[in-house]
Structure 1
């Protein structure tokens, strides 16, 4: 429930005024149940803003309620998923209960009213209305019943005990548990269910139920990698889906309500949980509201609901938080002033920039404006369609931007929106927009993220959508400063049939539109027009739009029409008409490597302001599909995006990155440069930069270690100065790759006897019986001296992953028995295994999963074993959607196949030693030659193989030495006199050549 701001004074009374429960004497000390119910009643009564209206409402209800407690206009047999009509019965009874129990009201203590309420509750129990939507049985109905019973507990006449016990029993049996599995037991849903456990615990005087309800209600107040408040302080629900608004609102309001229920009791919210709730509201929730309105990007499917952006009612929640969290009273006072419209949208707003790496969302706030970007990666979910809502929001997570000064720029625009042209998005113009997936689907980008120093930032999105009707890619970035946001796109390529557009903005038309084009400044009449490369700037509603590199720009300021029903099946079909401002770039049909550049300039009120803007402040130094670079000369800030390992050289600066990253550099030209860096792939453990900067001598080598889960993707800070190490060219890395000779997954339950050896995907999952899948791989090992090995990793490439894959870890086990075969292994006959150290977090599509198995490989090679078998498993079930698939050896691209990577030590570290190794990677012929170096002498010992001659050759095949082998005996090979280099040793009866490395 939303708590109105006017009730703050009434809530203060909760701390000191307690109304005794019915039948208890005035001198009785209230129990904790009494105290909690008193608080709940105070909140309910304080929410009655118009007592005259309540009296009229109740009078009408008394005239229409039937003697059996029903209303004829309610269809109690309705089972609708949405707009379930029977719930109105409980809402009416709540109004009646408020009138009956609110002291001083017209109907206070009215016996007839009490009888009708009792009849209505009895009818609800006997009629037992149900919906196909679980929410109605587990949240909506029991919460309403609980409130009504708590109100009536203080009535002058008690309700029939039989009715009360029946309703409490149904709350218990049908209301669900807040700790159930799946989405119902997480985040806001958990809290909602726990709330009616609190009601029931108080009504029944059951300490166990009350304690459990309170504990579960407060349980979501922790940082999680699942649904709920994230480590970056964003909020995700329905899988990894951004929901700061919507479910985030439900969580916040619900937690505040429970905190108010329990204030003054032993269950009061305090400590770290109160601190987290405070931080979430102050630092995340309030900043995504501009004035009285949400940014549309944070609402999920709720964007398709009428009036969803208007959040003036949150003033009550802010007032309640002021009571609970008085240390931040000035913050809440400013928010209340904005939310109630007493002060303008900029009142009390502090500048800041936040990149929420867990939710692929960025928010840039200045007193004069707010700007956000909503993207999606393979780690997160697109905006969902659910219950017939958000039917056209397919592109809402593809770089959508909300540009707000007053906050109402998009208020209720959505029925008339051109959903092909969502602000910020690059997408083809489609005749039919795909309906978003039910309950969300994972994105496909593996490079999405941003860097922030808390005041400035960069967001980047390697957009790719292989949907057959879209098939579009683009490298998009947003660069945030004080008075400008620079928006760049490169590599725009599509095979879609329709033209591809990048939309700059589409908002409500509010005031004149002024443009500068072709050397003239014009105030436009309503209509639509095109500018083939000659539009310098446009100005509307205090926001300027600058096109520094031209482009085919289109502008419309005219009426658009649509219906709410077109985007939300539960809404009205009436035609809505609104005047809309729309600005976009046209990249044409099927573009190849196209690009764009535009700048957002908030705070520009006139053409004179636009002409006075100093365009030399911003320099776009690079805009390619490898590198995008923007320099703000006035602030002395460079911002860069490397989409891959690449080099940027220009303006006296050279920066090389060994992997994709986003960067902010400050104070270039001085002896100390500050570097902020983030990894949008969230896969790297470190990123190395080579920097040649004015003011610092030489080429510096800055290695920045990156945070791991749950902070992977967060920004790290470093400095470059004279003490930073100079860059030196490393010795070439010697890696030997070995590919699997057998792989398969196994499945338990009904498929326990089925073999999956020919599958192109190796599936892994931990779940209930019948749904578990595990992976087996087998590799040939070289015969080599293990002292040459620096490290060995086992690598799998993630081919597909379900929405909760990050809730599990993957583990590799050692298998001693190599007798299993690719076409014979199944769950029933799988060999046993033992756990090897190290876990890899469940990860999205495109991840290269690596396990360090150095010790195991050395043991196997030292034991002269020719094969290595590995068993890979998931460690946690999560919510049952933690399954993933890896590429198998049947994949044509060997880079994606299961493989071992043997990192060999550089020769410079092996002076004075001689080594042999198998260069074939596969042993053949059934005999193995083992070479053992003697570091004290210039000899190596040869053993194994068949009896017969063998030769030592150089790289050209010239025979340098001959030797006679004896099967089962050791033979000495003298290598004295041979210069350092690579030689080959081979038994003439074998097909296996051994590579001999001599290091002096």
Structure 2
């Protein structure tokens, strides 16, 4: 029989034994843990980079075809290995095939995982490349394209490739370095630095890797007046100050976001202020250069419109990555994700945004998006047709005004497009466009700009064509349901006619016209009107606000990509599409011509029939000195003064400007409740004007002197200077 005391003694004895054994086990486990390599931040970043490569699906049929078709010397048929020109260099298919095979070799769910046959195919392809070291006439392939693919192969498969082959590839990958000719402060610098950083991960060089990441983070900055991110959140890739926000600027952001995610929660993580700049740029720069924050937009694109599929919709990958990395502006990022994943019918965005550093204006409402592209003495008109792309882009900065309701209105129209009928432009109709080397030109005028209160806005373009003997004052006035386009002082010399194009897009459905009291469906072909009320096509109504000769053409048009793109990868076959074109014909030898029309977006036919623009819109002035519109329902006046002058605002109110400038007024009877002003010329530090109303607006940007005897408010507004010159000053609530 066991007594209490003996039991207690046994328990104590057992506890002591367990304690001793536990101590031994602790020291054994500690020694074992110390023997296991620690997964450092450096290793973690490398794992994340490799994991990103493996997110794409492996196409088994494509892998099998690459294996079967590969030649004994490691090449593939169908690639021209002799042509290393700027328009050729099909060699990127070769290095791209290597990456595809390497992914199949490493992908856990791939049937080719660890396949000796796949590894041998990559080995043969790499051996061929390092033996020949193909060098393109276009630096981009040498410093970005080829190194980027080769470093991917290294990270995916390099440890299993022959050592001498890996060493031989290093000088080729090494052309991506911070002193390379292409590593200029812009999107390409970040891409090159990113390739270098990945190679350092592969080589295990931690100190150099950390130094390169500091360079990458340091490039998240404003570079107004030079290459890179501008204060208005547009992006300049070159010193010509052409809008590159949705081309190079998109790659700039994606490269940062890539490393933001790779380095999150590690010693290499980006600082919060850099992350905030990146998010602001993505939302207020890139996304506001896109139709509905999703579709690449024709007005924002340059030579890349010569590539099939250039105006595709973006996926939600990048904004989702930003949401993983930060909570900053979370709601706005979630809105972009929702639009891209669920469709534009989910859009709730409304804004007016002017990129004053780039002469580009965008306007979004839940059911439509539109833009205006211009140039000035500060910005060249268009990108150079580098690498023989965009060969007819001469007039694509001449006050271009694209309109999107679905985001697909202009998708791949460009091989059949008439590049002298670009939406919004006023162009002298030449027999042929000048040579492509004449595309890029500086502007002749500085009165180019916009005024916005962030929700509404007007745009003014003192336009002098750099290609033709043509001048015009062009303005756009943007409201909620409609916008108004005015032109005045149109002068041109020569026998060729001058056209102002309302729209030039893909034909969708029937075309209706109201002439006099008659509304009818039009037949395909060309039509001319002298007393046209409106045209209706594809949920858009085009209203004529003044007598003018209007011409319309719609039907099949045949063209070819090679007329605008001489890259060897450009499709060679003819393309036929249905196209809709609507324009005002000003005739030839034009003197003081004008135009006035209104666009009613996303309207049904019955809504268009019922719309009475006189109930909504009043044109207050359309002269070379002043263009102004009053919206009767919104109680709003937008006025573009090209010089000092006086404007009757209605209801007994008068505005007197002491000099040029743009003004947006919100009215309440005889009171001004809110206003915005800007100086497109950027010559003034202050703007002076008078109103015959007692002005009492909040804000510290203005001084108001009330002259009770003459019942006049004398107003002085302090204008933005330096890198903010040309932006708007908003006064009031």
TM-score normalised over the length of structure 1: 0.65
Deviation at 1:672, TM superposition (A): 4.6
CA displacement, residues 450-493 of structure 1 (integer Å, 9 cap, x when unaligned): 100000001110000253xx110000010111111111110000
- Which runs of no fewer than 5 residues in structure 1 stay unpaired? 1-23, 721-1000
* Deviation string, structure 1 residues 54-92 (Cα, Å, up to 9, x no partner): x22222322333444333544434312134112222111
**Alignment-derived partner of residue 65 in structure 2:** 60
Corresponding position of 1:993 = none
Aligned to 1:356: 355
The correspondence of residues 490-501 of structure 1 with structure 2, limited to 5 A, is: 490-501=488-499
Deviation sequence 1:353-406 (CA, Å, 0-9, x none):
111111001111000101110011110122221111111111100100111111
CA 45–644 in structure 1, closer or farther in 2 if over 3 Å, else same:
same
CA distance in 1, matches of 2:45, 2:142: 24
> Where does residue 96 of structure 1 map in the other structure?
101
- What's the counterpart of residue 522 of structure 1? 520
Deviations 1:796-833 (A, max 9, x none): xxxxxxxxxxxxxxxxxxxxxxxxxxxxxxxxxxxxxx
Q: Paired residue for 2:641?
A: 642
- Tell me what 2:51 maps to: 42
Q: Secondary structure at the match of 2:414?
A: coil
* 1:566-577 paired onto structure 2 within 5 Å: 566-570=563-567, 571-577=570-576
* Larger fraction in helix: 2
My pick for the range that moved more, 248-257 or 394-403, is 248-257
What is the CA distance between 1:164 and its match in structure 2? 1.8
Q: Where does structure 2 lack aligned partners over 5 or more consecutive residues? A: 1-32, 696-705
Q: CA deviation at 1:166?
A: 2.5
Across the two proteins, how many residue pairs are aligned to each other? 681
- On the 8 A contact 2:471/2:489 being kept in 1, the answer is yes
In the alignment, does 2:721 pair up with 1:712?
no
* Partner of residue 169, structure 1: 171
Q: Secondary structure at the match of 2:415?
A: coil
Deviation at 1:148, TM superposition (A): 0.7
Within a 5 Å distance, the mapping from 1:173-322 to structure 2 comes to 174-177=175-178, 184-225=183-224, 226-239=226-239, 240-290=241-291, 292-312=294-314, 314-322=315-323
Looking at structure 2, the residues matched to 162 and 713 of structure 1 have their Cα atoms a distance apart, in angstroms, of 58
Q: CA separation in 2, counterparts of 1:611 and 1:73?
A: 59
Q: Distance in 1 between matches of 2:573 and 2:267?
A: 52
Corresponding residue for 2:473?
475
Decide whether the 8 Å contact of 2:512 with 2:519 is kept in 1.
yes
- For residues 230-280 of structure 1, the C-alpha deviation after alignment (integer angstroms, 9 at most, x for no partner) is 101112222201012111221122222222332342222341221122112
SS of residue in 2 equivalent to 1:231: coil
Q: How does 1:7-86 map to 2 (within 5 A)?
A: 27-48=36-57, 51=58, 53=59, 55-71=60-76, 73-86=78-91
Per-residue deviation at 1:686? 1.2
The 5 A counterparts of 1:417-428 are: 417-428=417-428
SS at match of 1:595: strand
Deviation at 1:537, TM superposition (A): 1.1
2:35 & 2:286 partners in 1: Cα distance?
43
Q: Distance in 2 between matches of 1:95 and 1:28?
A: 31
Structure with higher RCO (Cα < 8 A, 6+ apart): 2
Within-5 A mapping of 1:359-398: 359-384=358-383, 385-398=385-398
Cα separation, partners in 2 of 1:277 and 1:130, compared to 1, 3 Å? same
Contact 1:295 1:309 (C-alpha < 8 Å) held by counterparts: yes
1:222 Cα deviation (Å)?
A: 1.4
- Distance 1:327-1:348 versus aligned 2 partners, 3 A rule: farther
- Partner of 2:28 in structure 1? none
Find the partner of 2:546 among 549, 560, 581. Answer: 549
Task: Tell me which structure has the larger Cα radius of gyration.
Answer: 1
- 1:617, CA displacement in angstroms? 1.6
Distance 2:73 2:551 in 1: 64
Query: Secondary structure of the equivalent of 1:391?
Result: coil
The separation in 1 between residues aligned to 2:532 and 2:77, in whole angstroms, is 63
Aligned to 2:715: 702
Q: Hey, which bits of structure 1, 4+ residues long, moved more than 6 A?
A: none
Structure 2 match to 1:816 = none
Following the alignment from structure 1 to structure 2, what is the Cα–Cα distance between the partners of residues 539 and 694?
A: 44
Deviations 1:705-737 (A, max 9, x none): 1111100001113469xxxxxxxxxxxxxxxxx
Q: Which residue of 2 aligns with 1:414?
A: 414
Aligned position for 2:133 = 128
Q: Any conservation in 2 of the 1:642–1:662 contact (CA below 8 Å)?
A: yes
Counterparts of 2:307 and 2:92 in 1: how far apart (Å)? 19
Q: Aligned with 1:667: secondary structure?
A: strand
Q: How far apart, CA to CA, are the structure 2 residues paired with 1:464 and 1:693?
A: 37
> Are 1:110 and 2:109 matched, yes or no?
no
d(CA) in 1 for partners of 2:401, 2:249: 20
Q: Is the 8 A contact 2:279 2:328 kept in 1?
A: no
Q: Which has the higher strand share?
A: 1
- Are 1:537 and 1:545, in contact at CA under 8 Å, matched by a contact in 2? yes
- Determine the structure 2 residue equivalent to 1:684: 684
- The DSSP-based 3-state class of the residue aligned with 1:707 is coil
TM-score, reference length from structure 2: 0.88
Question: In structure 1, what is the equivalent of residue 124 of structure 2?
Answer: 119
Decide whether the 8 Å contact of 1:539 with 1:604 is kept in 2.
no
Change (3 A) 1:199 1:650: closer
Q: Distance in 1 between matches of 2:168 and 2:51?
A: 26
Q: Is the 8 A contact 2:306 2:565 kept in 1?
A: yes
Q: Report the alpha carbon displacement of residue 670 of structure 1 after superposing the two structures with TM.
A: 3.9
Residues 700/180 of structure 1: CA separation in 2 closer, same or farther (3 Å cut): farther
Q: Structure 1 residues 520 and 439, CA, compared in 2 at 3 Å: closer, same or farther?
A: closer
1:780-929 aligned at under 5 Å gives the runs: none
Given that 1:668 and 1:694 are in contact with CA atoms closer than 8 Å, whether structure 2 keeps it comes out as no
Q: In the TM superposition, what is the alpha-carbon distance from 1:642 to its structure 2 partner?
A: 0.7
SS at match of 1:106: coil
